Structure 1
Amino acid sequence: MDKKEKLQLSEIDICDLFITPALQASHWDPMTQIRREVTLTPGPVIVRGNVSSRNKSKKKFADYVLSWQPSLPVAIIEAKSNGFAISHGLQQALEYAGILKLPCAFSSNGDGFASHDKTAPSGSDIEIELALEQFPTPEELWRRYRTFHDIKPGEIALVEQPYHREANGKDPRYYQVDAINLSVEAIAKGQKRVLLVMATGTGKTYTTFQIIWRVWKAGTAKRILFLADRNILVDQTLVNDFAPFGASMTKVKNRKIDPAYEIHLGLYQALTGPFESDKIFKSVSRDFFDLIVIDECHRGSAAEDSAWREVLDYFSGAIHLGMTATPMETGYVSNVNYFGAPVYKYSLKQGIEDGFLAPYKVIRIDIDRDLEGWTPPPGMLDDLGNAVEEREYNQKDMDRILILNKRTTLVAERVMQLLRATDPMAKTIIFCEDIDHAERMRKAIVNAAGDLARDNSKYVMRITGDSVEGKAELDRFIDPEEPYPVIATTSQLLSTGVDTKTCKLIVLDRTINSMTMFKQIIGRGSRIDEDNNKYFYTIMDFKKATELFRDPDFDGEPVVIYEPGPDDDPVPPDPDPEPGDEGDGGEGPENPPGVTKIRISGVDARIIAERVEYIGPDGNLITESYREFARKQITSEYASLDDFIRKWQASDRKRAIIDELEEYGIVLSNLAEEVGRDFGDFDLLCHIAYGQPPLTRRERADQVRKRNYFGKYGDKARAVLSALLDKYADEGIATIEEAKVLRLRPFTEIGTPLEIINGAFGGKQNYERALRELEDEIYQQAAGE
């Protein structure tokens, strides 16, 4: 093939005709070692108002991922058409190699390969160009990977152990691959304490399963204990992610550890207790378990004075793998002191930027009694006839010390106002100060919900550690297929570990001092659930808790501020300790010790301020409408109205421009919600971006008819063009550009598509020319606008 012909080939052609054959010639197996068109990240979801869309322009998409075996990617290749230089795609390949922790990246235009090798010996070139036939073999790139990751000969067998392939062929996400491989490599190197930090919703349990599977199959760990502190965490794991272990797995129950099984899932509470007879973990030898996985290890299991630390100390010779979304570094406990630095971290911010986690919008609501404070008049009595201490009560006192019933009613009514305006059946969690507050909030929501609660008594449930009825509904609340319960009021039970992937609204009517607890709570909404059309969630904040988003520690590095010495006195726990010590509850008592609550019914409360904030491009919260977001995106692509009109008029297919804008997260149907459904795409864009007065599609169609434009066509062609104009007026420009439009009514009454194209217009070329002229007529005056 000569150069001129090669220049005409598409990027896909270059891959098919040159790159893939070159790989196969170098002994790469196309079935097991070559993956093409791999989506590494789908691109972030943008939310403004009550609508969302993906910014596909930020999608990370690798043309080739080369793997030694499916669980071990070793290199990236970025392909370009032949009009580009060989190395044109190398920077992009390096970015993708970076997130996969790979030493080698390649770029090709079909003439050869540009190579970047981080393992090149000192004094050698890091980047070189190779002929097509010189591409490295799988063995060579696997050698470079081992060099880059410092994998010794004795570690190879474990590192090469494949992960479990899903029956549906689903592959782990890139960060899960990183977390699995780096953990397995650490274990292969003999590391006994391993910490993984992964944001809620990123698949920590699935990642854990794959790590356990590989070390178990390789024989490195023959008996494994998965430790959690809540029944639901164990039960979810047993039937979901860990199901492939099958008959080799059991849940520790009946107060015994059964040596007939190899994979044990257990609650701390089932293994130990305050009396020696409770400590069933001592019924097996200290070397019984080879690997212990500590789920949600931020909740104090590794703390020096924890009641559960004795379990880990007893099996101290085993590998301890800690999993958490929120590494705790406080005056009371340090994960890093126990486990060492995390082998891998994947934050909430990164998950949102990649598009794997749902972004949030924040509705901050200020109530007068919270902000301005409230001082009872002299001699005031509460609802029980007791004297009320004459002092100023502020936001932190609300529902902890002072109960203003009208404030509770106000919060409930505002929550229901939002749900009625969006989706009354949206799964909602309301976090309250304690169990008593959660029960009062449940009652207030029932009254505010009216018919919704009357039609189904489980529309709202209190799900707290002390409520047998509420906990019985927990599985249904988190089941996407179950509509009820819709709203859960809670204190702490739902703050961590519970997979509530369809949760669309989190209400904070709780004072939160702990960054760890805050991250866990907001993590309840962080999962994207495309099957149920959940791409973002709303945080409604009545207690200024979301100010923690602005704290540098929110997505920053954990800092060790306490390193216990051998002679240190015990350090008291933090003022806002983590939940979970009661296994299935974790809720505090109805009234904190030594506190008598003051209940008052007659004091009014009102909302004095609200504001809505969204995640901006830099990850910080901003106040911006969807309209303003769209304006910025359009004008960044088309600097002026004239630029936009020229591109619009020159485009053979207007749909191409619309698709291009959708790549940046601008969805025309969302803009139509802002401006009006009767306006065409062109008018919507010009109005939003450049302030032009819009015309409706019907108005543009009527102007075309007034100009008697159809006079030059025959009867049949006029009938077709007139019908196309009606279709435009009803549905928009994209509809009439679709090839299938001639298969719809009223065209079927005129003839078949072939009869229309050939009989009315004399061929496809003439039909397309007539359609283009019709579009020019529709937008004729645009050139002068």
Structure 2
Amino acid sequence: MDVELRPYQREAVEAIEREWALGRRRTLLVLPTGCGKTVVFNDIARREVERGGRVLILAHRGELLEQAADKLRRATGLACSVEKAGDTSVGTFERVTVGSVQTLMRERRLEALGPGRFTLIIVDEAHHAVSQMYRTVLDYFEGAKVLGVTATADRGDRRDLGEVFDSLAYEYTMPAAIRDGYLVPIEAQTIPLDIDLRGVSTRSGDYALEEVGTALDPYLPAIADEFEGAGLRGMRTVVFLPLIKTSRKFRDLLASRGFRAAEVNGQSDDRADVLADFAAGRYDVLCNSMLLTEGWDCPSVDCIVVLRPTKVRSLYCQMVGRGTRLSPETGKKRLLLLDFLWMTDRHELCRPAHLVAQSPDVADRMTEILEAKGCPEDLGEVERQASEDVVAQREESLAKELAEQRRKKRRLVDPLQFEMSIGAEDLSGYAPSFPWEAAPASGKQVKALEGYGIDAGDATCAGKASLLLDRLAKRREAGLSTPKQIRFLESRGFRKVGTWTLDQASRAISRISANSWRTPAAMDPATYVPGDPL
């Protein structure tokens, strides 16, 4: 009955339990679509029930509740009671309840349950949790632990999820899942068709749908023509559009060009039949107006077309995530993601690069590369190339900064130098998300960083200090070079000393020391490779 957890899923469960043990009662789990967030929170629910607790699984759509209850029963054998419309868990014996947030936010419903009813609340699709509906429920059961699960921790209206959650317990990224073989690689192709969005206004942090539909409408015939040129016939393609009328029009345009196209939306009476026919291969293209962003799985999808431009990375990830699942039945090798040349006033539009890039600079460089190529390109390969380009630019700036630091003869290593030397994009691009992270670094953190040789004055906040200390501890365990070795050798012109082992750096320093602290002529810092004969 128990499901075998994947390695990252086991790590996630341990990290969540650790956050609660540290007193961070509301924590987040971020897993890409297709990586089994339900599997993880089912295991967490099972553990809580075994400890004698009661669990509420909270969602905003009936389909999500039904899926959660079914998967929990099949994975653990636990049955669920229901809090939705006329159904209630009051008087039932089940230790797990699936509940609609729209139902539970009502005062009478909450009072019938009582504030001590649940010991754990699991919020599915937790990027919605900033809304007042969710806050009403979470605040009522204030004594319960909370686990929020989502494919991304972003929030479209830019209100920080840190207002609701205390920490991010665990995040498994899409690039890591692709690298580890749990998701298919993504190939992005930029279609050379300019679509002007400069007249579209913004509402609640994203493009106004009605205006997007109006702006997109004149381009639909040309986009349909591009489908023919992109070689999509026979591919299982899902197209996201802003409005029902736009979706229906595009379906008709594709059908007139010989594509087996269907359309579904929230008003479709035959929605289940159409989705089943698409999954069975009776249609090649499925057009929809934002219906399929959550709670729908069809692993055989091998092409995604986003014609609903968005500034919201979480929404963009949800759309693309409909096609990243593995499909053993079809032997799918990749996901093709079509992108158009959207013309906007600002660079806020989500593009394929934002799925994998760790910083805005890398995303911008990736977009430039993809637009120049014009043919399907593996996002992982493009990200590596863009990262190298951005790092090269940063290293040039860093060299100037280090020259200034050398004049100041600083004893400790600047965090930026350390991060660049070890290639830590996640550290150099870090921004705090939760209140405790934004607080100043503690005295204990400052002392520990300086003990490693890092200038804590530039760590800026407790979250950044925590990440630095964790990385430093892991490097020490792995026997990698120390910050002080990095500072000394890079001040002599040696490169990427952060990638050396402790022994390699020690031998290089010993050789310099034996030469009266002058770099031997045989050791050219610009070309020296650790392990070369001295």
> TM-score w.r.t. structure 1 length?
0.42
1:322-366, Cα deviation, whole Å (9 max, x unpaired): 001111257642223321221111111111222221111112112
State percent identity of aligned pairs.
24
Amino acid at match of 2:88: K
TM-superposed CA distance for 1:250, in Å, is 2.9
Pick one of 467, 470, 474 that aligns with 2:271.
470
Aligned residue for 1:530, secondary structure, equals: coil
1:548 is aligned to 2:354: no
1:312: which partner in 2?
138
After superposition, what is the alpha-carbon deviation per residue over 1:75-100, rounded to whole angstroms, capped at 9, x for unaligned? xxxxxxxxxxxxxxxxxxxxxxxxxx
Is 1:432 equivalent to 2:241 in the alignment?
yes
Q: CA deviation at 1:271?
A: 2.6
Query: Would the aligned equivalents of 1:399 and 1:437 in 2 still touch at CA under 8 Å?
Result: no
- Match of residue 588 from structure 1: none
The aligned residue for residue 777 of structure 1 is none
Give the CA RMSD over aligned residues. Answer: 3.3
Query: How many angstroms apart in 1 are the aligned matches of 2:160 and 2:270?
Result: 36
Question: Of residues 510, 521, 526 in structure 1, which corresponds to 2:308?
Answer: 510
Alignment check: 8 A CA contact 2:306 2:338 kept: yes
Structure 1, unaligned stretches of length 5 or more? 1-163, 375-395, 454-459, 558-607, 623-785
Instruction: Read off the aligned partner of 2:223 and give its amino acid letter.
Output: V
Q: Is the 2:81–2:89 contact (alpha carbons within 8 Å) kept by the matching residues of 1?
A: no
Structure 1 CA distance, aligned partners of 2:249 and 2:257? 12
Q: 1:335 aligns with which of 161, 165, 173?
A: 161
For the Cα contact (< 8 Å) 1:461–1:470, is it kept in 2? no
Q: Secondary structure at the match of 2:11?
A: helix
Q: 1:333 to 1:546 in 2, by over 3 A?
A: closer
Output the CA distance in 2 between the equivalents of 1:553 and 1:542: 18
In 1, the alpha carbon distance for the partners of 2:217 and 2:20 equals: 55
Q: Which amino acid aligns with 1:298?
A: H
Distance 1:193 1:230 in 2: 22
Change in Cα spacing, 1:210 to 1:398, as seen in structure 2 (3 Å) is: same
Is 1:349–2:142 an aligned residue pair?
Answer: no
Sort the Cα spacing of 1:547 and 1:248 in 2 relative to 1 into closer, same or farther, 3 A.
Answer: closer
Q: How far has the Cα of 1:203 moved from its partner?
A: 0.7
The aligned amino acid for 2:331 is N
Matched, 1:289 2:118: yes
Q: CA deviation at 1:227?
A: 0.9
How far apart are the structure 1 equivalents of 2:179 and 2:349? 19
Q: Does 1:228 align with 2:51?
A: no
1:385 paired residue number: none
User: C-alpha offsets along residues 673-710 of structure 1, whole Å, 9 cap, x if unaligned?
Assistant: xxxxxxxxxxxxxxxxxxxxxxxxxxxxxxxxxxxxxx
Q: How does 1:751-762 map to 2 (within 5 A)?
A: none
Q: Report the equivalent of 1:358.
A: 184
Q: Alignment partner for residue 193 of structure 1, among 20, 26, 37?
A: 26
In the TM superposition, residue 204 of structure 1 has moved relative to its aligned partner by: 0.5
Q: Deviation per CA, 1:354-396: give whole Å up to 9, x if none.
A: 222111111211225x36999xxxxxxxxxxxxxxxxxxxxx9
Q: CA deviation at 1:485?
A: 4.5
Q: 1:404 to 1:347 in 2, by over 3 A?
A: closer
Could you tell me how far apart the structure 2 residues matched to 1:336 and 1:200 are? 22
Tell me: CA distance 1:427–1:251, structure 2 relative to 1, closer, same or farther (3 Å): farther
Q: 1:430 to 1:551 in 2, by over 3 A?
A: closer
Counterpart position of 1:619: 383
CA distance in 2, matches of 1:449, 1:240: 39
Q: Are the aligned partners of 1:398 and 1:404 in contact in 2 as well (CA < 8 Å)? A: no
Are 1:298 and 2:127 matched, yes or no? yes
Tell me how far apart the structure 2 counterparts of residues 490 and 552 of structure 1 sit (CA, whole Å): 21
Residues in 2 aligned to 1:525 and 1:336: alpha-carbon distance in whole angstroms: 30
**SS at 1:342 equivalent:** strand
Q: What does residue 179 of structure 1 align with? A: 12
CA distance in structure 2 between the aligned counterparts of 1:518 and 1:352, rounded to whole angstroms: 17
Secondary structure, in 3 states, of the residue corresponding to 1:343? strand
Structure 2 distance, partners of 1:359, 1:609, is: 18
Q: TM-score, normalised on structure 2?
A: 0.60
* 8 A Cα contact 2:238 2:286, kept in partner: yes
Matches within 5 A, 1:289-688: 289-299=118-128, 301-303=129-131, 306-328=132-154, 332-367=158-193, 370=195, 400-402=213-215, 404=217, 407-418=219-230, 424=234, 426-449=235-258, 453=260, 460-470=261-271, 473-474=274-275, 477=278, 479=279, 482-544=280-342, 548-550=351-353, 554-555=357-358, 610-617=374-381, 619-620=383-384
Higher share in helix: 2
How many Å separate the matches in 2 of 1:186 and 1:308? 21
Deviation for aligned residue 1:465: 1.8
Instruction: Look up the match of 1:134.
Output: none
Alignment CA distance shift 1:398-1:466 (3 Å) = same
Provide the secondary structure at the position in 2 that maps to 1:199.
Answer: coil
Distance of 1:345 and 1:249 partners within structure 2: 28
Q: Which has the larger radius of gyration?
A: 1
Superimposed CA distance per residue, residues 454-474 of structure 1 (whole angstroms, 9 cap, x where no aligned partner): xxxxxx332222223235534
Question: Which residue does the alignment assign to 1:205?
Answer: 38
User: Please, which runs of 5 or more residues in structure 2 have no aligned partner?
Assistant: 200-208, 343-347, 361-371, 387-534
- 2:378 alignment partner AA: Y
1:191 shift after superposition: 3.8
Alpha-carbon distance between aligned partners in 2 of 1:226 and 1:313, rounded to the nearest angstrom: 15
Which of the numbers 145, 152, 165 marks the counterpart of 2:2?
165
Distance 2:330 2:356 in 1: 33
How far 1:296 moved relative to its partner?
Answer: 0.8
One-letter code aligned to 1:297: A
Equivalent AA in structure 1 for residue 113 of structure 2: V
Superposition deviation, residue 228 in structure 1: 1.2
Paired position in structure 2 for 1:721: none
The residue type equivalent to 2:38 in the other structure is: T
Cα pair distance change 1:403/1:342, threshold 3 Å = closer
Q: Deviations over 1:539-563 (max 9, x none)?
A: 1123549863445995459xxxxxx
Code of the aligned partner of 2:162: V
Amino acid at match of 1:328: D
Q: What is the CA–CA distance in structure 2 between the aligned matches of 1:617 and 1:183, rounded to whole Å?
A: 32
What secondary structure is seen at the aligned counterpart in 1 of 2:213? coil
Q: Distance in 2 between matches of 1:473 and 1:372?
A: 31
